[in-house]
A and B are shown apart, each in its own frame.
Chain A
Amino acid sequence: DAGVIQSPRHEVTEMGQEVTLRCKPISGHDYLFWYRQTMMRGLELLIYFNNNVPIDDSGMPEDRFSAKMPNASFSTLKIQPSEPRDSAVYFCASSVAGAYNEQFFGPGTRLTVL
């Protein structure tokens, strides 16, 4: 099992540029989560999907952030335009449904916006 795959692992960009983060969940998992982690705010949920459908995007900070899941094996998180305060580690996680749904995290994308 390859686990959750994220790309790129590191991204450095300049303010105003578009950034696209990618995630491949574990095969067979029907939930996908996008989190952001910073020292100040810890690990925060941005959005999650169930069977490719967005369920809760209340954590998406602003309209500059958007996420899609066109199929069961791929999701993107896009920031346009990016700002320095978006600098963080972005994690994707996946799980199966059920009362005990352990989430499996990808390695994360470290984003730096200059």
Chain B
Amino acid sequence: GQNIDQPTEMTATEGAIVQINCTYQTSGFNGLFWYQQHAGEAPTFLSYNVLDGLEEKGRFSSFLSRSKGYSYLLLKELQMKDSASYLCAVKQNQAGTALIFGKGTTLSVSS
């Protein structure tokens, strides 16, 4: 079956670094997405990995290991505005098909 696992909640302090892990077991794999969702708002795109390795985009980086079915999102220099839910999602096919989402990790950043 399809399964995407993420921790439910994480806490961190301003200025710190936090790593949000995601493991997946899906019938196909053609890329992994990370989305950010603030409370009461829509998910917004953060990053995309299809090959093994690290993708860096400003304070955010995302890593993928296809052989291990594992990804992580790394957030550096945390700010209060980073408090949100972070959703890991797998794209199963090359065509523009839908994503399978994990239940999300709620990150709380305190001062």
Interface of B is mostly: loop
* In contact, A99 and B97 (Cβ under 8 angstroms): no
B22-46 vs A: 1/0 string, CB under 8 Å? 0000000011010000000111110
- List, in ascending order, chain A residues with CB within 8 A of B75's CB: none
Complex Cα–Cα for A106 and B96 (A): 18
A114 interface residue, CB < 8 Å from B?
no
- List, in ascending order, chain A residues with CB within 8 A of B87's CB: 42-43
A56 interface residue, CB < 8 Å from B?
yes
- List, in ascending order, chain A residues with CB within 8 A of B42's CB: 91, 105-108
Give the contact stretch, choosing among B13-21, B57-65, B100-108. B100-108
Q: Among A43, A48, A98, which residue has its beta carbon within 8 angstroms of that of B43?
A: A43
Q: Looking at the assembled complex, report how far the CB atom of B62 sits from the nearest CB atom of chain A, in whole angstroms.
A: 13
- The verdict on A105 contacting B43 (CB below 8 Å), with A42-B102, A42-B104 known, is yes
- List, in ascending order, chain A residues with CB within 8 A of B41's CB: 107
- List, in ascending order, chain B residues with CB within 8 A of A97's CB: 95-96
CB-contacts of A94-110 with B (<8 A): 95-108
* In contact, A50 and B44 (Cβ under 8 angstroms): no
Total B residues in contact with A, Cβ cutoff 8 Å: 23
Complex Cα–Cα for A104 and B96 (A): 13
B111 interface residue, CB < 8 Å from A?
no
Complex Cα–Cα for A30 and B97 (A): 11
Residue of B nearest to A34 (CB): B98
* In contact, B50 and A100 (Cβ under 8 angstroms): yes
The 5 closest A-B pairs by CB, nearest first: A42-B103, A105-B42, A43-B101, A97-B96, A45-B98
16 A-B residue pairs with Cβ-Cβ distance under 8 Å, sorted by A, are A35-B101, A42-B101, A42-B103, A43-B87, A43-B104, A45-B99, A56-B97, A91-B43, A99-B94, A100-B31, A100-B48, A102-B45, A103-B99, A105-B42, A105-B43, A108-B42
